[in-house]
Amino acid sequence: MVDEAHRTQEGDLGLKMRAALPNAFFFGLTGTPINRRDRNTFAAFGAEEDVHGYLSRYGFEESIRDGATLPLHFEPRLVQLHIDKAALDEAYADLTGSLSDLDRDTLGKAAAKMKVLVKVPERIQAICADVAEHYQQKVRPNGFKAMLVTFDQESCLLYKAQLDQHLPPEASDIVISVSGKEREDERYRPYKRERDAEEKLLDRFRDPNDLLQILVVTAKLLTGFDAPILQAMYLDKPMRDHTLLQAITRTNRTYGDKKTHGLVVDYLGVFDDVAKSLEFDEEGFRRVVSNLAALKAQLPGAVQKCLAYFPGVDKSLGGFEGLLAAQECLPNNELRDAFAADYCDLSSLWEAISPDLILAPHESDYRWLSQIYVSVQPTSGAGALLWRSLGAKTIELIHRNVHVETLRDDLDKIVLDPQLIEAILNTQNPGQKARELEFKIAARLRAHLNNPRYRKLSERLEKLKEQHEAGQLHSIAFLKALLDLARDLVNAEKEVPAVENEDRGRAALTELFQQIRAADTPVVVERIVDDIDDIVRKIRFDGWQATEAGKREVRKSLRRTLAKYKLHKDEDLLKKAYGYLQEYY
């Protein structure tokens, strides 16, 4: 059994193995089989009875479907400068063609020509300015990091120097192999690191709180390097086949809910012909790699598909009345889930394309749809596959433009005034009143989404809605049941426990860490809760939950505390603990 079976097997090693073991069966395992005349993994390992040469195949589509990896988007950003485009194309074609047909001299000439063309100072300046702007607008706001892949070791130095003109020097670093003539060159000395020093640097890159944001590389880290926080690869080096695939799939590792795709920004035209670049598995990979130009073309249709759920609804009607009118078009779970699925597709497009100006004509519709999505989202956390968290750019859009939470909420008065209750029950339109009350209860419960004390009330609301939609509860009975639920909700909120709110927070955190504690987990629950409680009390300030700076500092301190106990990589744990801090502190 040979791992990484696309390497070494067509040369002397493969021949000697087969001569020494003439009766053996050879099984090859690889993520990137090669299918060329001069090198062919299928010929070395495939059997005639294997369909398409595979004994067993786990493709890109299956990996994404199973949630093991994410789709890849690529964005061509060719720098239009006054360079010899024809010469560049010729050199690129020579350098990336079938290398077995090129002799050493021809390859050397092509590489030399390519080196001169890609290192034009004006070109490097333009690319680094674009990388800095693109990273700060599209990647960094979501908490992700990036890699810049350059032509050779010298290019790494040149690009790093230019990046420092646009970003703080500590925001980037070079990772290369310093060997041969580079050993004698003083410029490379800072980057000749021992293994331990390099691992510490890479751990800093993996740390979301560290200032190191971009790694500049040429060959190192393009295979085998695993950093889920890496989302964007800025590509300015000619590559193809398995080398290209292994490089760009550094970006598609899953990382919490916010990361929806890996992104490859192409400055050299590597993806001009996807079929040639990735000819080992053209069809499968073309379904997974998405061109941003194609995504932009899909946007108008995705918006209209979501709007089609709300025929005749006046989108200019704001606040409570507008949302209620839209909700009437989603009367049951089947329709709500269908809308959720289509909205999630639209949201993924929006997050990938933003902040492109092509979004501007659709912004008001998207904002409106986002409000509806939030307003009909289940309060019990059910259906997580369909009802996922909003992306960072969508949240920013809503916060910047939407103030739906300012609507008048007289839930207290409704449930506490007996005369009003009687008047509601005798109303001529109990169905309308029930919908209004359901809307307000759901909004209140979403505010307690991370609090286990309200879980049963949330589940109760979802069950009542299902019974009403199935015709098991008529309007009056549904309204009465909602009033009972509203009373219990208000009582739960009004209860004054013997302990202060922050002590309830300690209790919630203690319960959370008790749940994840296992025999091999290096956690002393009381100690970790004490640490979190102590540091949050020190750095928080009144109203911190409403400011980006406050939220960032608390989240950073929480992650640092979890890192002490080797729990910082558990994104679900981090999310739940942060939710308790937001609610109780």
Q: Name residue, tokens 């419960």.
A: 445
Superfamily the domain 69-81+120-287 falls into: P-loop containing nucleotide triphosphate hydrolases (3.40.50.300)
- The secondary structure of residue 35, as a DSSP letter, is B
Helix (H) or strand (E) holding 13: helix 12-20
Higher pLDDT, 207 or 11: 207
* Other Cβ atoms closer than 10 A to 474: 12
Mean per-residue pLDDT, 127-150: 92
Euclidean distance between the first and the last CA atom of the chain, given in angstroms as a whole number: 56
Chain centroid to Cα 570, Å, comes to 15
Rounded Cα gap, residues 414 and 9, in angstroms: 76
Q: Report the half-sphere exposure of 157 (CA within 13 A, side-chain side).
A: 12
CB-based contacts of 26, cutoff 8 Å, min separation 6: 2, 17, 18, 44, 45
98 vs 110, more confident? 110
pLDDT for the residue numbered 496: 46
User: Can you tell me which residue has the tokens 């640097």?
Assistant: 201
Matching residue, tokens 């500049």? 216
pLDDT digits (tens, 9 = 90+) for 225-248: 889 999 999 998 887 666 777 788
Phi-psi region at 215: left, alpha or beta (left = phi > 0; alpha = psi -120 to 50): beta
pLDDT at 61 over 90: no
Give the tens place of pLDDT for each residue, 402-450: 433 323 334 444 444 555 455 555 566 666 677 777 777 777 776 666 5
What is the gyration radius of the CA atoms in the chain, in angstroms?
29
pLDDT tens figures, 382-402? 544 456 666 656 666 665 554
* Greatest mean pLDDT among 11-20, 208-217, 340-349, 439-448: 208-217
| Phi/psi at 177 (5° precision) | -90, 120
Q: Which of 61-65, 259-263, 545-549 is least confident?
A: 545-549
Nearest to 366 by CA among 353, 378, 379: 353
Domain boundaries, the chain: 2-57, 69-81+120-287, 297-406, 411-494, 501-584
**Could you tell me the two tokens for 393?**
């750019």
Contacts of 99 (CB under 8 A, 6+ apart): 107
d(CA 61, CA 43): 24
> Which pTM was predicted?
0.52
Q: What's residue 129's pLDDT?
A: 93
Per the prediction, the chain carries an average pLDDT of: 75
426-464 burial: b if 16+ Cβ within 10 Å, else e = eeeebeebbbbbbbbbbbbbeebbbbeebeebbebbbeb
Q: What pLDDT sits at residue 99? A: 47
Phi then psi for residue 307, to 5 deg, are -65, -25
Q: Cβ neighbours of residue 199 under 8 Å, at least 6 residues apart?
A: none
Could you tell me how far CA 219 lies from the centroid of its own chain? 25
- Here the tokens at position 122 are 């004006």
HEC per residue, 90-135: HHHHHHHCCHHHCCHHHHHHHHHHHHHHHCCHHHHHHHHHHHHHHH
Q: What's the CA gap between 235 and 268, in Å, rounded?
A: 7
Distance CA 381, CA 456 (A): 12
Tokens of 531: 């640490």
Packing angle, helices 548-564 and 525-539, rounded to 10: 150
CA atoms within 13 A on the CB side of 54: 13
pLDDT given for residue 316 in this prediction: 81
